[in-house]
Structure 1
Amino acid sequence: MTVLSVNLNKVAVLRNSRGGDQPDILRAARACLDAGAHGLTLHPRPDARHARSADVMALAALAGERRVELNLEGNPFAAPRPGYPGFLALCREARPAQATLVPDDDGQVTSDHGFDFARDGLRLRPLVVELKALGCRVSLFADAGCDVDAAAATGADRIELYTGPFAEAHAAGDAAAQLAGCADTARRAQAAGLGVNAGHDLSQDNLGDFLAAVPAVQEVSIGHALIGEALHDGLATTVARYLAILDAAGA
């Protein structure tokens, strides 16, 4: 069965827009878990424009208390700076169940591409070794059509398929080519010994179609759409609707 990890970055964005601690990211996390979400995701960036280092530690404590997985995302090559100790330093302290490495730079509004494994593989290998020594499962953000053999050569456990192009094509009414590319990449990754996660712009509108076409997706990380939908329908209702889609896909 595919599990749901809820990305809480957008709750942090709303909080940061006014300062203070409202809305409370921990309260939102508890609401998602109470509704049945399987895990929590945060992607702290060096400029702290949404999730902060303190949020990481708070969610790590909650995940341990609830015995659910924390998925920590970030660029392992981003330099430390005041308020941001670096991705590996955060992982050393928080010990997330999963570390998802993402090649986003400081100027990106959001993650919009996966690694070039032929170029970045050698740099990624020692980081994967270090993260796995901390007890983290390691996932690498990857484009459909990527070199899965080079990804597997890093020693990573999984790839996370970047689903932004699929979501855009789905909204335009013609996702067949994107789905075929994602499905082919997933099959090749699995043949190379990698598990497959997926994330970015997945929503209630497109998630079922994605899971019907792409085999054996182990985890989806969903934040932007889920939090937006929850503004209208509430977190508990929205999480329950995603879980129903996952259940139907696994039936």
Structure 2
Amino acid sequence: MTELSVNLNKIALLRNARGHDAPNVVEFAKKFITLGVKGITIHPRPDERHITRQDAHDLGDLIRPLDGIELNIEGYPSEDFLQLIEAVRPDQTTLVPDLPGQLTSDHGFDFHTQGAFLAPILSRLKNSGTRISIFLDPDLAQVRLAAQSQADRIELYTEAYADTFNRPNRQDIYQQYHEAAALAVNLGLGVNAGHDLNLDNLPRFVTIPGIQEVSIGHALVVECLELGINTVVRQYLAICQQGH
């Protein structure tokens, strides 16, 4: 079974558009958890254009006492981000190579050029007790290098899968993810995935063995607007239950 982690960035973005506290990020986290979601993901950016540092603390306070519910904080490992992780102590920290001001994540880490940069960061995070996941393209060489680091998991960046889902080369791209996940598992890494997954393309993706968690935000929020939160979450959980 694959676990679903709901990314709350778009909930926070909507809240920030009016400068008030509606919709409330913590209350929406509670709604998703009540509906059966086992994970909440946030990606606080330096400009706090959606999730804020205070949101991270508030969600940490909410989730920390809950059995079987995990908080995943994503972000670029700047000093401010690392201090936030050390203060909140989420269950999982996902390192993403985003530049400041970047609209959204668009590539994974490159261990060939960034491995030396990541090594002391991974050691530092290990001391905080968080599980460490590295955002990664479905590249076998990168998977091998990630397995040699102190990372516990990788998160496969799934935009290529989503973009080709209705194209003739969909099987070739799917196979890349299948092989990357299989190699990661064989090398002792856990495997997460995320970016542009939705109700249409997720069922095929979770047929890949070894996918432990998918993080979904933008598409899920759009689908909730169209179909209602109860219906959408129920459908996602049913898909995830079919995962290997």
Shorter-chain TM range is: over 0.9
Contact 1:7 1:41 in 2 (8 A): yes
Is 2:145 the counterpart of 1:144?
A: no
Q: Deviations over 1:192-239 (max 9, x none)?
A: 211110000110100011111x21101101111111111122222211
Residue 169 (1) aligns with residue 164 (2): yes
CA RMSD of aligned residues (A): 1.3
- In structure 1, what residue type is equivalent to 2:130? C
Q: Determine the structure 2 residue equivalent to 1:242.
A: 236
Which deviates the most, 138-147 or 158-167? Answer: 138-147
TM-score w.r.t. the length of structure 2 is 0.95
- The verdict on how the C-alpha distance between 1:26 and 1:173 changes in structure 2, with shifts beyond 3 A counting, is farther
SS in 1 for 2:134: strand
* One-letter identity of the residue aligned with 1:17: A
Whole-Å separation in 1 of the counterparts to 2:234 and 2:220? 11
Q: Secondary structure at the match of 1:218?
A: strand
Where does residue 215 of structure 2 map in the other structure?
Answer: 221
After the TM superposition, which segments of 4 or more aligned residues of structure 1 sit over 6 Å from their partners?
A: none
Structure-1 residue corresponding to 2:93: 99
1: distance between equivalents of 2:151 and 2:76?
A: 15
Is residue 2:73 matched to residue 1:72? yes
Identity %: 48
Count of aligned residue pairs for this structure pair = 242
Contact 2:47 2:101 survives alignment (8 Å): no
Aligned to 2:129: 135
The question of whether the paired residues in 2 share the 8 Å contact of 1:4 and 1:243 is answered with yes
Alignment match, 1:12: 12
Measure the CA separation in 1 of the matches of 2:224 and 2:230: 8
Partner of 1:205: 200
Distance 1:17 1:23 in 2: 10
Gaps of 5+ in 1: 81-85
Amino acid at match of 2:82: L
Residues in 2 aligned to 1:123 and 1:249: alpha-carbon distance in whole angstroms: 34
Amino acid at match of 1:16: N
Aligned-pair CA distance for 1:108: 1.6
Query: Deviation string for 1:30-79 (max 9, x for gaps)?
Result: 110000001100000001111000000111111113231100000003xx
What does residue 225 of structure 2 align with? 231
Partner of residue 113 from structure 1, selected from 107, 113, 133: 107
